[in-house]
């Protein structure tokens, strides 16, 4: 079956991490994504591109030459979406900025993926995920009390606040185009997206439910019933028993009597409660605790490594991971009842003439 974006034509100017992830999502949904790479490629040494570049056809164009720019403009003329991840002003200087592109294709959705956005004093500065989430207020709360803030890899800035925000913006602009008949610019910034992801925490701060000290709150590791615990074999269990009914099942699995413990939401008792949980989890292996909590609503599961996750029985039953191009990858998500696309093919080389010939038949 074809995905829900079947027939949508996307041009992706090669970049790193956030925009490729957003375009991977579009390809997963069935869009025809053309990756325009520069001579010599664009990947950083040691970073394999195959998973983020799945579902693409790749053309190599030198945009600093007249021939390369001519080919790009020919593609833009027939595309629905263009995605670029340059610093502000670069596309304009090369000759395919929003104003130039609109002249040849007024229906084009022009999506721009940057760290800081298109304006502001930081707009032209370099940066990476850790910088964007720091300025967005998303990094400072992450970590244990008294320790330095800890970046959660590059999941928040690059992918959640970046690529996924880009994909949402493109989809919204395509939907609006059905009413107006016109394209528009999508300005997706990792700073903005990272700030957006903190909406829930900001609501808790506003209502007085969040301490300004990291690691002392309900969802940041401060609560002993929402944390991870080491097991006898060096593994870890994740505990998320927030509601009293789930907390009761946690205590039952740990063979603890609630009458002998501080109240669940008695913050003064959290240190002693954590000590009890720490000692109890350390008494058995991860597999043993997994068996204890299997089939319960205690909200306790093993902490799996990326290598282990594809082999978990639930992930296998769900088909959460698939193997493609020799790489185990997350399967396309979300899923659709009528227009679910299969795992996109690995990237392959193509020529501009071949692409335009196929697009002319759509």
- The 10s digit of each residue's pLDDT in 191-212 is 999 999 999 999 999 999 998 8
Report if residue 203 sits inside a domain: no
pLDDT higher than 80, residue 46? no
Shared domain for 249 and 187, answered yes or no, is no
Report if residue 262 sits inside a domain: yes
How confident is the model over 39-44, as a mean pLDDT?
A: 69
- The 10s digit of each residue's pLDDT in 219-239 is 999 999 999 999 999 999 999
User: pLDDT band for position 42 (50/70/90)?
Assistant: low
**Among 37-46, 108-117, 294-303, where is mean pLDDT lowest?**
37-46
Select from 260, 287, 305 the last residue of a domain.
305
Domain at 288, CATH number: 3.30.1540.10
Q: Write out the residue range of the structural domain in which residue 94 sits.
A: 9-197+332-359
**Tokens representing residue 36 in the block:** 């325009």
How confident is the model over 136-156, as a mean pLDDT?
A: 94
Catalytic hit among 158, 187, 220, 227: 158
pLDDT at 40: 79
Shared domain for 271 and 350, answered yes or no, is no
**Tokens representing residue 332 in the block:** 């396309």
Shared domain for 16 and 110, answered yes or no, is yes
| 236 φ, ψ (degrees, to nearest 5) | -140, 150
- The 10s digit of each residue's pLDDT in 249-281 is 999 999 999 999 999 999 999 999 999 999 999
In the chain, the number of structural domains is 2
| Contact between 190 and 114 (Cβ < 8 Å) | yes
Shared domain for 254 and 106, answered yes or no, is no
pLDDT at 296: 98
| Contact between 282 and 231 (Cβ < 8 Å) | yes
Strands 81-84 and 109-114: parallel
**Among 80-89, 93-102, 153-162, 341-350, where is mean pLDDT lowest?**
341-350
Report if residue 27 sits inside a domain: yes
Shared domain for 104 and 236, answered yes or no, is no
Shared domain for 168 and 246, answered yes or no, is no
Q: Can you count the helices (H) and strands (E) in the chain?
A: 13, 12
pLDDT at 75: 97
How confident is the model over 51-57, as a mean pLDDT?
A: 89
Report if residue 205 sits inside a domain: no
pLDDT at 325: 77
Shared domain for 191 and 231, answered yes or no, is no
pLDDT higher than 60, residue 362? no
Report if residue 2 sits inside a domain: no
Report if residue 187 sits inside a domain: yes
More confident residue, 329 or 341: 329
Tell me the pLDDT of the chain averaged across its residues: 94
Shared domain for 275 and 232, answered yes or no, is yes
The total of other beta-carbon atoms located within 10 Å of residue 153's CB is 10
| pTM recorded for the entire structure | 0.93
More confident residue, 346 or 247: 247
Shared domain for 190 and 254, answered yes or no, is no
pLDDT higher than 90, residue 99? yes
Active-site residue flag, 66: no
Catalytic hit among 62, 128, 312, 325: 128
The total of other beta-carbon atoms located within 10 Å of residue 255's CB is 9
Cα-based distances in Å from 277 to 230, 253, 254, 303? 10, 11, 8, 16
| Contact between 83 and 10 (Cβ < 8 Å) | yes
The whole-angstrom separation of Cα 152 and Cα 142 is 8
Report if residue 1 sits inside a domain: no
Report if residue 243 sits inside a domain: yes
User: What SS3 state is found at 159?
Assistant: helix
Domain at 44, CATH number: 3.40.50.10540
Shared domain for 135 and 170, answered yes or no, is yes
Shared domain for 152 and 28, answered yes or no, is yes
More confident residue, 344 or 296: 296
How confident is the model over 273-290, as a mean pLDDT?
A: 98
- The 10s digit of each residue's pLDDT in 71-97 is 999 999 999 999 999 999 999 999 999
Active-site residue flag, 78: no
Shared domain for 232 and 159, answered yes or no, is no
């Amino acid at each position: 079956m074809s995905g829900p974006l079947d027939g949508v034509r996307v041009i992706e100017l090669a970049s790193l991490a956030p925009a490729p992830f957003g375009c991977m999502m579009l390809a997963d949904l069935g869009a025809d994504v053309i990756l325009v790479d520069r001579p010599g490629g664009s990947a950083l040494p040691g970073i394999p591109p195959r998973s983020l570049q799945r579902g693409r056809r790749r053309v190599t164009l030198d945009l600093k030459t007249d021939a390369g720019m001519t080919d790009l403009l020919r593609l833009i003329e027939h595309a629905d979406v263009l995605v670029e991840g340059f610093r502000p002003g670069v596309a304009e200087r090369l000759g395919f900025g929003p104003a130039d592109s609109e002249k040849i294709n007024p229906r084009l959705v022009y999506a721009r993926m940057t760290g800081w956005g298109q304006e502001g004093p930081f707009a032209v500065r370099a940066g990476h995920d850790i910088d964007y989430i720091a300025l967005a207020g998303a990094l400072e709360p992450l970590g244990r009390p008294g320790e330095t803030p800890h970046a959660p890899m590059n999941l928040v800035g690059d992918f959640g606040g970046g690529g996924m925000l880009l994909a949402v913006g493109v989809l919204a602009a395509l939907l609006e185009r059905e009413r107006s008949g016109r394209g528009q610019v999508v300005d997706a910034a990792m700073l903005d997206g990272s700030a957006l992801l903190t909406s829930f925490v900001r609501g808790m701060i506003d209502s007085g439910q969040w301490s300004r000290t990291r690691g002392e709150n309900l969802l940041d590791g401060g609560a002993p019933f929402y944390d991870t615990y080491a097991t006898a074999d060096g593994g870890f269990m994740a505990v998320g028993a927030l509601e009293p009914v789930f907390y009761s099942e946690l205590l039952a699995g740990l063979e603890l009597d609630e009458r002998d413990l501080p109240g669940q939401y008695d913050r003064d008792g959290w240190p002693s409660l954590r000590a009890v949980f720490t000692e109890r989890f350390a008494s058995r292996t991860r597999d043993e605790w997994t068996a204890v909590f299997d089939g319960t609503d205690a909200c306790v599961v093993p902490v799996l490594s990326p290598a282990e996750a594809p082999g978990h029985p639930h992930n296998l039953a769900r088909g959460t991971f698939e193997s493609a191009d020799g790489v185990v990858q997350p399967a396309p998500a979300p899923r659709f009842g009528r227009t679910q696309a299969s795992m996109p093919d690995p990237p392959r080389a193509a020529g501009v003439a071949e692409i335009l010939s196929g697009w002319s038949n759509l």
